[in-house]
Amino acid sequence: MTAQSSAPEKIVVVGAGMVGHRFVDELVRNDRSGRFAIELVGAEEYEPYNRILLSEVLAGRADLRALGLPLPDADRVLFRRGVAVDEIDTDARELLLSDGTRSTYDRLVLATGARAFVPPLPGLAGPAGAPKHVHVLRTLDDTRNIAARAMNAKHAVVLGGGLLGLEAACGLRRRGVPVTVVDLDDHLMATQLDRGPSRMLAAQLRSLGIDVITSTSVAEVISAYDEIVAVRLTDDRLLAADLMLVSCGIRAESGLAARAGIAVERGIVVDEELRTSDPWVHAIGDCAQPPTGMTGLLAPGWNQADDLVALMLGREDLDPDAVGDDRPDPVKLKAVGVDLVTMGVRPSQALDDDRVLTVSDGGGNRHVDLVLRDGELVGVTCLGFPDVSAALTLAYDRRTPLPADPLALLVPAGAQGGVAATVSPMRMPGSTTVCRCSAVTKKQIVSAWEQGATTPDAIAGATRATTGCGGCKEVVCGLVDWLNASDPAAPAPSVDTPVTPRNTPVESTT
């Protein structure tokens, strides 16, 4: 232990989700002098895990072992796993925990996240609660339960065609379950997509065997013996369903804060410095409502965690100048069979002076919108171009220089590859370098041949071609064959014949 001039300040973090975990990790990494004593209280029984990979697990694409996050450094962090904070006494700065114990804090960081929102539908809500096989997707347990049910399910209904709902729908489909997605909006992923690309997305989903019903919702969940058997839609259609996933958005987990008298609106209200209405309490991640708004996405939560660590350690380098920082983060649909990434401004939100480029390929279910403002890429919608979506994300994120013709962005890097394709020895210009390792041109090989080097080995001896990487062996053999074939009987021309008729036509192609 390092000598401490005063007792360390005690920070308690509530919630060991993705953002609480990041905050603790960053704080430990940066607080080298041990200024803070850290306690992490997390309600979930599991070791911290990567929540966003749950869709991959649901799709059977990721092993559960790929989810476990680094454990908090036991020397620095007291981690109470499977324990919830039940009450906060902000006056005494004291917490009541679900295991009956109490804990105090100097500063409290709320990272309680969010829970899935379940609309009050007939057959879902009510005294009996939801019937069996109706799920939300938020936790490891949810995922396990859905995956278990998927083994026997004959038809699944996903209510909500947002990012999460579609990832889950594709995941279930990959497990072989017929799926119908039902969305109240008139198009899928309305938060991120304009109608055109959204229609194409729906077409792509249908091609995977996922049915899409829009402008419609579930009017009633019908169950028998406490198990779901069907849903009735708002247009009165009945859909048989033995598995239902409700994916209608999230609600901030803010009850604990509200009970303690901390200001709560849609989430726990925080200022630019991530402080709640109580100066000793901070909130970050999905539970927080910062001035810039709530997103329900991970990247802003991680930024908040980093910023709060910097603020607490008194380092003011919040790095406002860093390239790309002030932009909304890209959103990628993590679904097998669909490649969709969106970021920033979409065409319907473009300003008059923005340049909007659209490439739409209805037959191939591919669509790209690029929005440029002042020469920078400020928005991308990219569906069905897996080879360029990563590069586009980078160009947007890092503000890298754009081509004069922005459509060139849609050509994958590999396809522009500049290495010349092999040409036949005959058509090759005389100045072509045949052997890179020893910088031997075709012309030099031809003149070596003329001087009697009529086998590949002899060419190697005379010019050094083929003696390096060996990559030109084939071409040299080809040249020798061609030369021998073109003039099998001719004696080697005399040394002072610089240009033979043979390679004159060749030269003319240069």
Partner 1 sequence: MTLEPVQTHCPYCALQCAMTLTPSADQVEGGSAVEVAPRPVPSVQGGATSAGGLCHKGWTSAAVLRVPDRITEPLVRSASGVLEPSSWEDALAFIATRVAALQGAHGNDSIGVFGGGGLTNEKAYQLGKFTRTVLRSKHIDYNGRFCMSSAAAAGNRAFGIDRGMPFRVTDLGSADAILLLGSNVADTMPPFVQHLAGVRSRGGLIVVDPRRTATAALTDGDGQSPGGLHLQALPGTDQTLLLGLLHLVVAEGLADEQYLAARVNGWDDVRRSVALWWPERVAATTGVAESSLRRAVQILAAASPARGGNGAMILSGRGAEQHTDGTDTVTAAINLSLALGLPGRPASGYGCLTGQGNGQGGREHGQKADQLPGYRMIDDPSARAHVAAVWGVDPDSLPGKGVPAVELLGKLGGEVKALFVHGANVVVSAPDALAVRRRLESLDLLVVCDFVPSETAQLADVVLPVTQWAEEEGTMTNLEGRVLRRRKALDAPGQARSELDILAGLARALGSEVHFDTEPALVFDELARASAGGKADYSGLSHALLDAEEQGAGSGGHYWPAPVGSTGTPRLFARRFAHPDGRARMVAVSPGAPADDLRREAPVYLVTGRVLAQYQSGAQTRRVDALNAVAPAAFVELHPHLAKLHQIDDGDDVAVTSVRGTAIARARITTTIRTDTVFMPFHWAGDGMANAVTNDAVDPISGMPEFKVCAVSIARADLFVPPQPEEVLA
Ligand X SMILES: Cc1cc2nc3c(=O)[nH]c(=O)nc-3n(C[C@H](O)[C@H](O)[C@H](O)COP(=O)(O)OP(=O)(O)OC[C@H]3O[C@@H](n4cnc5c(N)ncnc54)[C@H](O)[C@@H]3O)c2cc1C
Strands (E), 3-144: 9-14, 36-42, 77-81, 85-89, 94-97, 102-104, 107-110, 114-116, 134-135
- Compute the distance between CA of residue 182 and CA of residue 241 in angstroms, rounded to an integer: 12
Contacts of 451 (CB under 8 A, 6+ apart): 462, 492, 495
Query: Least distance in Å: CB of 192 to ligand X?
Result: 12
Q: Tell me, residue by residue from 155 to 194, as one string, x for binding to ligand X by CB under 6 A and - for no binding.
A: ---------x------------------------------
Our CB check for ligand X shows the closer of 84 and 233 to be 84
Give backbone dihedrals phi and psi of 142, rounded to 5 degrees, phi first: -55, -50
> In the window 84-143, what residues touch ligand X (CB under 6 A)?
84-85, 111-114, 137-138
Our CB check for ligand X shows the closer of 15 and 430 to be 15
Answer for the pair 283, 111: CB distance below 8 angstroms, yes or no.
yes
Stretch that binds partner 1, among 89-97, 277-285, 304-312, 328-336 (CB under 8 A): 328-336
Stretch that binds partner 1, among 35-43, 153-161, 178-186, 320-328 (CB under 8 A): 320-328
Our CB check for ligand X shows the closer of 111 and 377 to be 111
Instruction: State how far the alpha carbon of 217 is from the alpha carbons of 186, 247, 439, in Å.
Output: 11, 12, 70
Choose among 9, 1, 6, 7: nearest CA to 312.
9
Look-up of token digits 């109580």: 278
Sign of the dihedral defined by the CA atoms of residues 158, 161, 162, 163, in that order: positive
Question: In this chain, which of 56, 194, 242, 306 binds partner 1, going by CB under 8 A?
Answer: 56
Strand 107-110 to strand 281-283: parallel, antiparallel, or no bridges (unpaired)? parallel
Answer for the pair 212, 205: CB distance below 8 angstroms, yes or no.
yes
> In the window 59-98, what residues touch partner 1 (CB under 8 A)?
61-63, 65-71
Count of residues that bind partner 1 according to CB under 8 A: 57
Question: In this chain, which of 23, 36, 49, 449 binds partner 1, going by CB under 8 A?
Answer: 49
> In the window 272-311, what residues touch partner 1 (CB under 8 A)?
none
Our CB check for ligand X shows the closer of 82 and 452 to be 82
Query: Least distance in Å: CB of 148 to partner 1?
Result: 19
Residue 397, interface with partner 1 (CB under 8 A)?
Answer: yes
DSSP conformational letter for 241: -
Our CB check for ligand X shows the closer of 335 and 440 to be 335
Residue 387, interface with partner 1 (CB under 8 A)?
Answer: yes
- Cα-to-chain-centroid distance, residue 57: 15
Rg of the Cα trace of the chain? Answer: 32
Query: Least distance in Å: CB of 365 to partner 1?
Result: 17
Residue 125, interface with partner 1 (CB under 8 A)?
Answer: no
Residue 395, interface with partner 1 (CB under 8 A)?
Answer: yes
Answer for the pair 171, 338: CB distance below 8 angstroms, yes or no.
no
Residue 41, interface with ligand X (CB under 6 A)?
Answer: yes
Our CB check for ligand X shows the closer of 77 and 440 to be 77
Query: Least distance in Å: CB of 242 to partner 1?
Result: 29
Stretch that binds ligand X, among 17-25, 386-394, 428-436, 495-503 (CB under 6 A): 17-25
Task: Name which of ligand X, partner 1, none residue 67 binds, using a CB cut-off of 5 to 8 Å depending on partner kind.
Answer: partner 1
Query: Which pairs with CB-CB distance under 8 Å and at least 24 residues apart come from 126-134?
Result: 128/226, 130/221, 131/221, 131/223, 131/226, 131/227, 131/228, 132/223, 132/226, 132/227, 132/228, 133/227, 133/228, 133/242, 133/243, 133/244, 134/221, 134/228, 134/244, 134/246
Instruction: State how far the alpha carbon of 98 is from the alpha carbons of 83, 108, 473, in Å.
Output: 6, 17, 75
The residues binding ligand X (CB under 6 A) are 14-20, 41-44, 51-52, 54-55, 84-85, 111-114, 137-138, 164, 253, 256, 285-287, 296-299, 301, 334
Q: Site residues (CB under 8 A) for partner 1?
A: 49-50, 52-53, 56, 61-63, 65-71, 321-323, 330, 332, 334, 386-391, 393-395, 397-404, 408, 412-414, 416-419, 422, 436-439, 464, 467-471
